[in-house]
Amino acid sequence: MAEKQLMIIDCDAGIDDAQAIMMALCQPHIEVVAITCVAGNVSVQRVCHNVLRVLEVCGKLGKVPVYRGAEGPIINRGDPPATSVHGSDGLGDIPSSGALELEKHASAEHAVNKMIDLVVHQHHGEISLVALGPLTNLALAERMKPGFSKQLKMLSLFGGNTEGRGNTTISAEFNFYMDVEAADIVLQEFVCPVYVTGWEASLKHTIDWEWLYEWLNTKTKKGRFVKAVMDHLLQYYKGEWAQNELGEESNFIVCDQLSMAIAIDDKVVKKAHRHLVRVERQGSITRGQMVVDWCRHLGHKDNLNLVTEIDMQLVKDLMQASLND
């Protein structure tokens, strides 16, 4: 029997995070050894609750450890959560019961300490880390245990942008903007193989509405859950993102699902380019923008892989598998 692929999922548990988590949980070759929570779409306490709800729907409650991490960015800028997109609770404001009962399944150990323990002390070079929210926990792990990232098998993250197109400010993507300093630390200091899927990659790899609605009508417990949490997002989407900049009707944009698919199956990546990448920390307009050294002005040390082409049929297959019984 082939060895399991060990995975840590670091997330801020909005709707796309929930779907990405479900993609990993259903894969027989993936063992999720921890889900670590970080403030982003909603508060870190709410993130933990959302993760536990997803685990309950998937029959994994009590089987996958959940850890509470950073409650805010390294430097607190007072940025508001993305409740308009994901709902006030981060999962589309669908009714939830048994909050106190769910919270019993969250570990008391801090997420960053557990990440260091699993990666450095227990599983050298064996863990794939998937980062779906602000990178605060990752940056803290590297600073608390220098060389933490050397012990990772790989990092797949969703965040940043390659063309200066922002979805939170004029030039910054949400995950990087919510903790700019953490994003820059991770991009500068992580030395494992790093795959970055940015906002423009999402805009170029959308899902057609016909497939999406068929997927949302999957007649399973998990399918009904995803359909319920997606209702709020779809209403927001049709109002705010209904058209692209050319005035054409837009297909559905997926984000965290792409980075998770890459971690599950590397064949998802059709093309990636090695580049030196930094994050602008100070700009009055460009703070949080990911800056790619296209012409090597900063030197020749390429530090990560920018994913530019994705096999969307494989992504759809993984998404469909996540809702099957």
Structure token digits, residue 64: 């996958």
CA angle 226, 11, 216 (to 5 degrees): 15
Q: Residue 131 phi/psi, 5° resolution?
A: -110, 120
Element spanning 30, H or E: strand 30-37
* CA nearest to 117, candidates 150, 145, 140: 145
Choice among 10, 12, 16, 89 that is catalytic: 12
Taking residue 143's Cβ as centre, other Cβ atoms within 10 Å add up to 14
In the block, tokens 């296209």 appear at 294
Phi-psi region of 234 (alpha: psi -120 to 50; beta: other; left: phi over 0): alpha
* CA nearest to 120, candidates 156, 147, 154, 155: 147
Known catalytic residue: 12? yes
- Supply the residues annotated as catalytic: 12
